[in-house]
Chains A and B, each alone.
Chain A
């Protein structure tokens, strides 16, 4: 099992504020890192798939960075909006097959 830790477990953000949170994983045998957004009562949806050390990806106000040498990825939300409220899951993989998730960071944006 690839140990993955997401921190914090939950956070509350005021609307308009920016925030970030972490996905940590063993740096050995790294293959790719997935980020998914999971809204309440819905299915998870992919945000990013990242592979290269130093990689940065962006989708609207959400962006992510990857450090494969030290084994972490940051997800940033700029100018949080209520619709950003969700659980954000990361899944680091040692191969291109198995997809196993961390426990997630639950973000609540207060209006």
Chain B
């Protein structure tokens, strides 16, 4: 059974730093691209970042480019999101999602339950 378990959320001060983790199990982690998606309180979904299975390509939303870094450790089946210089508008539930395929078409086919990041002094 596929499982994604996020951790590392919490309260962080503006200008501080935080690292989120997503532990994966139940599928061949290194064969799949992985993504982070966030949702601010009462707002919609926002795609944040994607990393390929081999980590050779990384993609970021304009809103986080230069401040967030996505990475992965395929030996530990774990995805990471390093959040530097957070702002109040980064306050959100952060979901990790598995980039899969349905009949050959790219989808986010499995999601974790999310971890809340609150940016406040």
Real complex partners, A and B?
no
